[in-house]
Homo-oligomer: A and B are copies of this chain.
Amino acid sequence: MDDTVLPETQSPVSPAAATASPDARHDRMSAEARAEIRDMQDAAVPTKRPTVPALEEILYEPLPVLDHGFVRVVDYMGDDAAIVQAARVSYGRGTKRVQDDSGLIRYLMRHWHTTPFEMCEIKLHVKLPIFVARQWIRHRTANVNEYSARYSILDREFYLPAPEHLAAQSSANRQGRGAVLTPEEGDRVLALLRSDAEQTYANYEWMLNSGPEGEPADPARQGLARELARMNLTLNTYTQWYWKIDLHNFMHFLRLRADDHAQYEIRAYADVMMDVLDRWTPIAAGAFREYRLGAVQVSATGIQVVRRLLAGEAVTADTSGLSKREWRELMAALGRDPA
């Protein structure tokens, strides 16, 4: 729960990670990191634990997100059968037939029996902009170890949106995005974001006064403590962390963050994590789409509206008893014209 701080033996992640290579997957880390990953991917050993071949395929692999970010699956515990096993508190694994496992998992999801899903766990290594990290960390049910800028120096990497993601403030929704900016305004915004990030990073480096081997860059200066210098960085600077969570809370995160209302930048991570979910626990993932992601929560008044419509009544927004916004949302869910 405290800052993770380290004694003297640590070799921080190499600043070389900032050096891009041609391969989209591999330019997000140094050659050294790349080699370490390859070593782990080549070394399989036997285990008696539940194992998921489709997830083993992408284990340790950085899955690219945004311009410099990634999601890496670093470890996992359990599979679809482990959900069944926990629900039954049984000695063996799952049921005799895959179809029974599926029926039970869908039943559990539908009836909000959440504890069996908590019996699976996944651990990710994520690289993400700080402003995304600040939204993400609000999910308190995970374990987190973040790269410490008190202890180490952050890489010179910051998020710059692609032009199609530079959008105006929504006029309908105080927290959403509206139309994409005109090319002229978009270019000016992008230039500002880039130059401000570059300048504040350059000043961060100057304040640190840190040479390539850790010696002072300028021997005549003391250099500012890392824990202070970091305050000069902008919120689009990339950070990274290890993040571990159980399957129930993983899906809860995805329900909120793979949603249209979530900010695009965190949704980009959630979308990649949905693919991870499909590989890891395909049956639970299917149930999740059916009973959560694709489901609709209809309010008590909304259910009355549906009943009246089914009875042939010509219900309107005014006679529905719903607020205008609720009416529009219900009509959208029912595939009807709100007018």
Q: How many Å lie between the Cα of A112 and that of B1 in the bound state?
A: 8
Tell whether, in the assembled complex, residue B77 and residue A107 are in contact, meaning their CB atoms are under 8 Å apart.
no
For residue A277, give the distance in angstroms from its CB to the closest CB of chain B: 16
| Identical subunits present | 4
Interface on chain A toward B: helix, strand, loop, or mixed SS? Answer: mixed
Residue in B closest to A255 when the chains form the complex, CB atoms: B112
Tell whether, in the assembled complex, residue B3 and residue A135 are in contact, meaning their CB atoms are under 8 Å apart.
yes
- Chain A, 1-47, CB within 8 A of any chain B CB: 1-10, 13, 29, 33, 36-37, 39-41, 43-47
The interface bits of chain A over 109-136 (1 if a CB of B lies within 8 angstroms of the residue's CB, else 0) are 0111111101101010100011101110
Tell whether, in the assembled complex, residue A240 and residue B89 are in contact, meaning their CB atoms are under 8 Å apart.
yes
The interface bits of chain A over 40-81 (1 if a CB of B lies within 8 angstroms of the residue's CB, else 0) are 110111111111000010011000000000000011111000
Check A104 for interface membership: any CB of B closer than 8 A.
yes
Tell whether, in the assembled complex, residue B222 and residue A138 are in contact, meaning their CB atoms are under 8 Å apart.
no
Check A155 for interface membership: any CB of B closer than 8 A.
no
Q: With contacts A43-B48, A49-B59, A118-B143 known, is A95 near B9, CB below 8 A? A: yes
Check A147 for interface membership: any CB of B closer than 8 A.
yes
Q: How many Å lie between the Cα of A252 and that of B75 in the bound state?
A: 23
For A189, the chain B residues whose CB sits under 8 A away are: 207, 224
Check A168 for interface membership: any CB of B closer than 8 A.
yes
Residue in B closest to A227 when the chains form the complex, CB atoms: B263
Tell whether, in the assembled complex, residue A9 and residue B100 are in contact, meaning their CB atoms are under 8 Å apart.
yes
For A74, the chain B residues whose CB sits under 8 A away are: 85
Check A212 for interface membership: any CB of B closer than 8 A.
no
Q: With contacts A44-B46, A77-B123, A110-B326 known, is A193 near B2, CB below 8 A? A: no
The interface bits of chain A over 192-209 (1 if a CB of B lies within 8 angstroms of the residue's CB, else 0) are 110011011001001110
The interface bits of chain A over 147-190 (1 if a CB of B lies within 8 angstroms of the residue's CB, else 0) are 11011000000010100011111100011111101100100010
Tell whether, in the assembled complex, residue B303 and residue A299 are in contact, meaning their CB atoms are under 8 Å apart.
no
For A121, the chain B residues whose CB sits under 8 A away are: 77, 121, 244
For A170, the chain B residues whose CB sits under 8 A away are: 225
Q: With contacts A40-B48, A77-B121 known, is A236 near B244, CB below 8 A? A: no
Tell whether, in the assembled complex, residue A104 and residue B7 are in contact, meaning their CB atoms are under 8 Å apart.
yes
Can you offer 9 A-B residue contacts whose CB atoms are under 8 A? A3-B135, A7-B104, A115-B145, A134-B137, A137-B138, A161-B228, A289-B300, A303-B334, A310-B336
